[in-house]
Chains A and B, each alone.
Chain A
Amino acid sequence: MSRNTDAIGSPDLLAFAGAIAAGEIEVVDLTHTLSPDFPTIVMPPELGQCAPFRMEEVSRYDERGSAWYWNNISMGEHTGTHFDAPVHWISGKDLPENSVDTIPAANFIAPAVVIDISQQSAANADYELTVADVEAWEAMHGRIPPRSWVLLRTDWSKRNGRDYVNMREDGQHTPGPCPEVVRFLVEQRDLHGLGTETIGTDAGQAFHFNPPYPAHYYMHGKGRYGLQCLANLDRLPPIGVVILAAPLKIRRGSGSPLRVLALVPRARSGM
């Protein structure tokens, strides 16, 4: 501990910053680039849709502004790599501190564990994470610490376009958690939130689960958070990661696109 605390016992942030600069702590960007062609969640066409990311040039060193380049951007709260606040779901609508502007800022920094179901997902696009999967993971890596993000590695972020969305005539087919495992994680592991690589913390077919969209229902019902459309989860170790995920401070916002960063300790060379 002496290495990380100063003489009067408070944490040594300069040492922390130094470790990042020295590469002893690697910063892994878990964010997709916000771009107009990144898929958004698809609702039935008679309903309003989540607006995709759009960018309109205001000026580009031209007659509209000779020395400056800037854009107006627009998007839905749930576009691109984004954060879900508890108020997003009906089960979390009456909780305190349930919108992106009221969530305590400390909650935007939390440890994470990574559960790898990429092989199962490659074999079965509708793969559902089970309690048994989590228990098997814990047998290898230890019990999931309370208030940890659980990041579900499916390697889905490596897919593109149609394969990524995987829309068929009966809806989307992407992996996600089964209802029981969400309850287990929320009630018995006190999870901080669930992070996925797919569009949605729930499986593509989760509308047909009981309850529908269990990750949204149980997590947000207990005031916990979601991260979606994450990338680079394959670059994270199973344990020992810290996540920085601070959504935009939108008044009464249900979520927001954001930059998600993972802090990963790396062994120093020669050790």
Chain B
Amino acid sequence: MTEPLSRPKRKDPLKKTRIPLLPQGTRSRTALGLTAAAAEGRFQLQVCGDCAAVVYPPRDACPRCLSANLPFRDVDNGGTLLAETTIRTSTDVYFRERMPWRIGTVLLDAGPAIVAHLHGDLREGERTRLELKLDKSGQAIVIALPARDTPNMADDPQWRELTCDPKYRRVLVTDGRTAMGQAMAEALSQGGASIVFVGVADPWKPFPGEDRLRKLERVEIVALDLTDTISVNECAGEFAPRVDILVNTAEHVRTGGIIERKGLTVAREELEVRYLGLMRLAQAFGPVLRARGADGINSAAAFVNLVSVFALTSWPAYGAFSATEAACLSAAQSLRAELRPGGVKVVNVFFGPLETEWYQAVPPPKLAPSTLGRAVVQALRQGLEDVFVGDIAEDIRARLAVNPKALERELGS
């Protein structure tokens, strides 16, 4: 049974902070199909389009019928742990400082045998579920979990290495003035964060929900204005070394396409809050996050972007907004590559219209901010990189995969 984590002690200021090391991260282009699945928390393997064989490791031709038609498909993840090995020493610098490390051979019910990392509660001969996870290098690995949840299983060291669990981590929610920011603060506080710093801009302006926010457990309000470089730098100066997970809840939702808007005042505000705000956060907090990726139980773990699903394709009714969100998504992809050397994940959480004032005229389904909050906690616990929350986001995701042109045309009607 997994030993429950205890709250980490305050750091010994005389100890050197360990440089984040990464496991080997080279994969073939074909094998990146596993990475794509892991990013969204799917269990996908290649399934031969001609003879239906399930194939692992990824190959360019089916080992049974030599077909090159080997798409990645969702596959049942049940199997049995045939053999386990405990590795006690290694020349690999990443694994060397994480010994002992358990691996084993799992025979998947779907066919192939897979060498997988093992959760501490799984024993030889037992039934298991396999999951594809992104390791610190951002590449897919397979981990074998007990068939049923066990107590404190999220606290297993090999599992926690793959996730960004907010438990005992310190979180910064960048904008607490909105319903979304407040829901996020509450979800993360309940999700086990040891403290949730919540940024509030323009403290001279009251905002709805303020009293409740101030009363939330483990929530501390900090001055942070994402449109002001000086403010972001000052906040980072004070708090960055104590931020393990950053959740950017900045929102700027206004209707109107490109010519519907008269002038650029609102577009500039949008870009200031969203795109430039993201850059400011990345520049101020990113270097410290990247340096603290292996800093113990509460190591830096994730930079979470809450981004509209219309970053992926424009919704002309909110056309200028969509363009700004697209800019944020592009910046987030770059940030992902830039934070990777620190083993820090960039988590993009895509969502559709929220049940808030700015989507007042949009018919349901709309997402409650609290649902989004819980989804973010779940994504962190699962170590996901791309998350689609709610019916609209999932629908857009599915339609984009099938026919992006048709989707563009339909959204423009």
Contact = CB atoms under 8 A, between A and B. Distances in A.
B238 interface: no
A49 interface: yes
B205 A167 contact: yes
A62 interface: no
B231 A36 contact: yes
Contacts of B228: 36-37, 52, 54
B231 A37 contact: yes
A72 to B, nearest CB: 10
Interface string A34-59: 00110100100010110110111100
A165 interface: yes
Contacts of B203: 161-162
Interface residues of A, number: 19
Contacts of A168: 206
Interface in B250-269: 254, 263, 265-266, 268-269
Contacts of B266: 48
B230 A55 contact: yes
B105 interface: no
Contact of A167 (B206, B268, B269): B206
Interface residues of B, number: 17
A54 B201 CA distance: 14
Given A36-B225, A46-B254, A48-B265, A165 B205 contact: yes
Contacts of A164: 204
A114 to B, nearest CB: 26
Contacts of B263: 48
B30 interface: no
Q: Find the residue from A54, A165, A167 having the highest chain B CB count within 10 A.
A: A54
A162 B206 CA distance: 8
A52 B226 CA distance: 13
Contacts of A57: 229
Q: Find the residue from A37, A46, A57 having the highest chain B CB count within 10 A.
A: A37
B227 interface: yes
Contacts of B268: 51
A55 B205 contact: no
A162 B207 CA distance: 12
Q: Find the residue from B204, B225, B227, B254 having the highest chain A CB count within 10 A.
A: B204
Nearest to A76: B265
Contacts of A162: 203-206
Interface string A128-165: 00000000000000000000000000000000011011
Interface in B197-213: 202-206
A39 B230 contact: no
A39 B204 contact: yes
B231 A42 contact: no
A36 B230 contact: yes
A51 B205 CA distance: 15
A10 to B, nearest CB: 48
A162 B231 CA distance: 18
A168 B207 CA distance: 10
Nearest to A168: B206
A36 B226 CA distance: 11
B204 A165 contact: yes
Interface string A160-185: 01101101100000000000000000
Interface in B212-244: 225, 227-231
A106 B231 CA distance: 39
Contact of A161 (B204, B227, B254, B269): B204
A36 B225 CA distance: 9
Contacts of A48: 263, 265-266, 269
A41 to B, nearest CB: 11
Contacts of B265: 48-49
B206 A54 contact: no
Interface in B166-207: 202-206
A168 B229 CA distance: 29
A77 to B, nearest CB: 12
Interface string A248-259: 000000000000
A49 B272 CA distance: 13
19 contacts: A36-B228, A36-B231, A39-B202, A39-B204, A42-B205, A48-B263, A48-B265, A49-B265, A52-B227, A55-B229, A55-B230, A57-B229, A162-B203, A162-B205, A164-B204, A165-B204, A165-B205, A167-B205, A168-B206
Given A48-B266, A55-B230, 15 more contacts: A36-B228, A37-B228, A37-B231, A39-B205, A42-B205, A48-B263, A52-B227, A54-B227, A55-B229, A56-B229, A57-B229, A165-B204, A167-B205, A167-B206, A168-B206
Interface of B: 202-206, 225, 227-231, 254, 263, 265-266, 268-269
Interface of A: 36-37, 39, 42, 46, 48-49, 51-52, 54-57, 161-162, 164-165, 167-168
- Give 3 nearest A-B pairs by CB, closest first: A48-B265, A161-B204, A36-B228
